């Protein structure tokens, strides 16, 4: 029982975690919304990470350009492009 609870409360990057299940549900809603928008689409993700978008299947997608913008130590700006 505790093992099941442990996996449920695991990090949201874990496939069986509660956080990941919520993330998948939000991503399904996001996909339904962007399918109705004219292409190409530009997304600015402030504070996000590349792994999230790759795991969501947006890598090598010419219809959606994702820019990830982060501030790191001393205000340095890190920018990643996916799409």
Using a cut of 0.85, tell me whether the model's pTM lies above it: no
Domain membership of residue 21 as a residue range: 1-36
Average of per-residue pLDDT across 60-79: 79
Give residues with Cβ within 8 angstroms of 12, minimum separation 6. 18, 19, 20, 22, 23
Residues 45 and 81 in one domain: yes
Total tally of structural domains belonging to the chain: 2
Q: Is the pLDDT of residue 60 over 90?
A: no
pLDDT at res. 8: 55
Residues 60 and 74 in one domain: yes
Residues 42 and 78 in one domain: yes
Structural element, H or E, at residue 35: helix 18-35
pLDDT above 90 covers what percent of the chain?
28
Residues 58 and 73 in one domain: yes
Residues 18 and 49 in one domain: no
Residues 72 and 47 in one domain: yes
Residues 28 and 45 in one domain: no
């Amino acid at each position: 029982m505790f093992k099941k609870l442990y996996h449920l409360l695991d990090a949201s990057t874990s496939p069986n975690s509660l956080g990941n299940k919520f993330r998948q549900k939000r991503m399904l809603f996001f996909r339904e919304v962007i399918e109705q928008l004219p292409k190409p689409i530009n997304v600015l993700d402030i504070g996000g990470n590349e792994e999230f978008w790759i795991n969501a299947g947006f890598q090598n997608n010419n219809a959606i350009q994702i820019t990830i913008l982060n501030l790191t130590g001393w205000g340095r700006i890190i920018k990643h492009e996916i799409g």
